[in-house]
Amino acid sequence: MAKRVSGVVGIWYDDFELVEAARKVREAGYKKFDAITPFPVHGLEEAIGIQRSKIPWVTLIMGTTGLLSGLALTYWTSAVDWPINVGGKPFFSGPAFVPVMFELTILFAALSSVIALFAFCGLPKVDPPIIDPDLTSHKFAIFIPSTEENYDTGRAEQLLRQVGAKEVRHISEY
Amino acid sequence: MAQLHAVTAHPKPGKYSASMRTRTIYAASMAVGLIGLLAAFYVDKSRAWHSYLTSFFMFTSLALGGIFFAAIQHISKAGWSVTVRRLAEAMTSFLPMAAVGAVVLLFGAKNLYIWLDPEIVSQDAILRGKTGYLNMPFFVIRTIVFFAGWLLFTRLIVGHSLKQDEDGDESHTVKNVGLSVGFLLFLALSYSFFSVDFLMSLAPHWYSTIWGVYCFAGLAQSSFAFLCILSVAMMKRGLVRGLVTEEHLHDLGKFLLGFTVFYAYIGFSQFLLIWYANLPEETIFYLSRSTGGWMEATFALLVFKFIVPFVLLLPKAAKRTPAHLVLVSTLIIVMQYFDVHWMVYPNLVGGNVEKYGGQWIFGWPEISAILLFGGLFLWSVTNFLSRHSLVPVKDPRIEEAIHHHVTY
């Protein structure tokens, strides 16, 4: 589970203003801050500067692994360990193996994507701290953690006010 | 995005007009193609008709792909695709010519379909049993029904879209939903029968119940490829700045990738069952495509119509880089021709063994037909785009398309 950190949070009532504010916070040099919104907000990833997810790589590598596992499984069971003549076809019959290879590709890729998603997002989060209950309905927040380089609570609070936060608060753990 | 709320006026699409050079090229292509094809009729009638059928089928499918795309956007009330929908509608402008092409084909049908030869049918119990379906009058009636239906639906759906450019009436959008439902139902049935009638009946003993879906997979794959090329062409000219962006290319690319997988899935489904059951009356189809250069052709389909485009379209950047997308799309369209050729030609070379020896053939009669139909197709598409706005500017969902944004 992700370690809890303290920091400063600013709250907005409008998602468009949040995107603008996030851009300014990034321009001010902050790198590790995050936004909390009740629904996906377009353009927010770019404004915060979030890098692309690594999940596609997990999917690609595990999908390829699944494909090769399917090939290995079908080859070993039907041509090496227990060869059985089926309809006079060769023991190693490519077309007959394709469905197994296909299914294992999907299985490996899909399951590992879900697992990777949980791992990258630090899920499941048991009893997460509540900054503001309204963040799940109509409020939007930017959270600047104390782990930022050259972090200073006063300066962070001032910046959030400057870029238009309606409420600014210090959070001891998030 | 800074302009998210700030936009009050839409960007306006530029006016496309085909340059004199473009028109000349298409006209020359048609003329050369027509002369070549007429010469081919004189030299080798049977081969000429096969080349005609191949190109006719491929470009008719592309035109139907345009209206298929427009219809799924209407039926799903999609917002993102509004700015590329007109380009798909432009592809349908070839349909009236395809109808004329079908009429011409009916006159040459005797050179293609052995079930039209009463002598052969009378000596063949299987063909005698199929005469209830495979006979000239019913064939003509079906062809008329297919094209009448397609033309009617296209006229209505595209007509509403064009009308909206003038009056901005939202009721056109509403009416197109119901029309699209009807059209897609009609297309699913008619295109299945169309592909069975025009391609599968070339070998009237053989049948595959997945044939219509296989042809449809090619239709969808190739028409998305053409739509990508058309979008990039308009972007390159700067005519749709702020309207069609790489966000739209990304989604078109996803469709292209999806239908590339769909094509392989269907193609393999057809092959696997026949290969596994190993019944002579079914395996004949693949046997006639496994010797005399046809084995290489069959594997070329697997490699260049599925594996290569699949890998090349997989990364996100691949779908957002216009030059790369055009390259893959071009490959897919070339392979679509190759696929139809692969379906049609074994009938010709297998039926005239002493002449062709069952060999894979491709030469000037085929190129002539491609030039003729390709020229006609591109000419009608560019003509449509010169006459109408490149984007349905008064569509109620255009705002959504302008701000379309693919998240990662």
* B335 and B290 Cβ atoms separated by less than 8 Å: no
Average pLDDT, chain B: 93
Residue B313, helix vs strand vs coil: helix
- Residue B162 pLDDT exceeds 70: yes
Which residues in chain B have Cβ-Cβ distances shorter than 8 Å to A45?
407-408
Using 50, 70 and 90 to split pLDDT, how confident is the model at B408?
Answer: low
Burial label for B6, CB within 10 Å (0-12, 13-18, 19+), is exposed
Convert the pLDDT of each residue in A128-142 to its tens digit: 778 888 888 899 999
Q: What would the mean pLDDT of B178-191 be, rounded to a whole number?
A: 97
- Is the Cβ pair A42, B403 closer than 8 Å? yes
- Is the Cβ pair A96, B1 closer than 8 Å? no
Residue B87, helix vs strand vs coil: helix
Convert the pLDDT of each residue in A38-87 to its tens digit: 988 888 888 888 888 899 999 999 999 999 999 999 999 999 999 989 88
Quote ipTM for the complex: 0.83
- Residue B8 pLDDT exceeds 60: no
**A45, A53, A95: residue with CB nearest B272:** A95
Domain limits of chain A?
A: 7-51+127-171, 55-121
- Residue A21 pLDDT exceeds 80: yes
Convert the pLDDT of each residue in B111-148 to its tens digit: 999 999 999 999 999 999 999 999 999 999 999 999 99
Residue B80, helix vs strand vs coil: coil
* Buried/exposed A17-55: b ≥16 CB within 10 Å, e otherwise: bbbbbbbbbbeeebeebebbbeeebbbbbbbbeeeeeeb
Predicted local confidence at residue A163, as pLDDT: 86
Share of chain B above pLDDT 70, in %: 98
Tell which wins on pLDDT, B81 or A7.
B81
Predicted local confidence at residue A1, as pLDDT: 38
**B1, B271, B314: residue with CB nearest A43:** B1
Q: State the distance between the two ends of chain B, measured CA to CA, in whole angstroms.
A: 15
Convert the pLDDT of each residue in B275-292 to its tens digit: 999 999 999 999 999 988
Using 50, 70 and 90 to split pLDDT, how confident is the model at B369?
Answer: very high
Which residues in chain B have Cβ-Cβ distances shorter than 8 Å to A20?
2
* B54 and B367 Cβ atoms separated by less than 8 Å: no
Using 50, 70 and 90 to split pLDDT, how confident is the model at B1?
Answer: very low
State how far residue A156 is from chain B, nearest Cα, in angstroms. Answer: 23
Name the DSSP letter for residue A144: E
Predicted local confidence at residue A150, as pLDDT: 79
Predicted local confidence at residue A2, as pLDDT: 53
Q: What would the mean pLDDT of B201-215 be, rounded to a whole number?
A: 94
State how far residue A95 is from chain B, nearest Cα, in angstroms. Answer: 6
Tell which wins on pLDDT, A112 or B3.
A112
Using 50, 70 and 90 to split pLDDT, how confident is the model at A144?
Answer: confident
Which residues in chain B have Cβ-Cβ distances shorter than 8 Å to A43?
1, 4, 405
- Is the Cβ pair A42, B276 closer than 8 Å? no
Q: Which of A14, A17, A42, A97 to mutate to test the interface with B (most CBs of B within 10 A)?
A: A42
Predicted local confidence at residue A133, as pLDDT: 85
Predicted local confidence at residue B2, as pLDDT: 43
Convert the pLDDT of each residue in B298-330 to its tens digit: 999 999 999 999 999 999 999 999 999 999 999
The span from the CA of B197 to the CA of B55, in Å, is 16
Output phi, psi for A43, to 5 deg. Answer: 85, -5
Convert the pLDDT of each residue in A154-173 to its tens digit: 888 888 888 888 888 888 77
The span from the CA of B187 to the CA of B54, in Å, is 20
Does the pTM surpass 0.80? The reply is yes
The span from the CA of B167 to the CA of B384, in Å, is 19
What tokens does B211 get? 């044939």
